[in-house]
Amino acid sequence: MKDDGNPMRAANQAPRCTAHSKRTGERCKAPAVNGWTVCRMHGAGGGHKAGPSHPSWKHGMRSREWIEVRKYINELTREAREIETRIEAEGAGVGTVRRA
């Protein structure tokens, strides 16, 4: 590349941040931090590792794993209720034996 004496050439050609604006959807134009794909404003160099080593970790009941477990339990409970409702509806029909 031709050296035109512009000291900002290297800075302007630095890799750009890959983040997109929430409002406009346009890409961030800031230079990415070395070793990252995002700029300093979009999370480069920050954050803790997720999991028990995170300083805000209390008991793990709100971890991704437990959220999935609770979703599964809720789904099973919903299905059980649905089955119960169906059985009760059929029980009210003709040809069923009533319990004392």
Nearest by Cα to 41 from 11, 12, 17:
17
Long-range Cβ pairs for the range 56-65 (8 Å, 24+): none
- Out of 16, 28, 36, 63, the only residue in the binding site for Zn ion (CB under 5 A) is 28
Considering CB under 5 A, how many residues would be counted as binding Zn ion? 6
The answer to whether the CB of 28 falls within 8 A of the CB of 42 is: yes
- Out of 1, 10, 16, 17, the only residue in the binding site for Zn ion (CB under 5 A) is 17
* 19 interacts with Zn ion by CB under 5 A: yes
Taking the least distance from each CB to Zn ion, the nearer of 11 and 94 is 11
- Out of 16, 37, 42, 43, the only residue in the binding site for Zn ion (CB under 5 A) is 42
* 44 interacts with Zn ion by CB under 5 A: no
Which ranges of the chain does DSSP label H, i.e. alpha helix?
A: 9-12, 64-91
Q: Rounded to the nearest whole angstrom, what is the least distance from the CB of residue 48 to Zn ion in the complex?
A: 20
Residues 6+ apart with CB under 8 A from 7: none
Which residues would be at the binding site for Zn ion (CB under 5 A)?
A: 17, 19, 28, 30, 39, 42
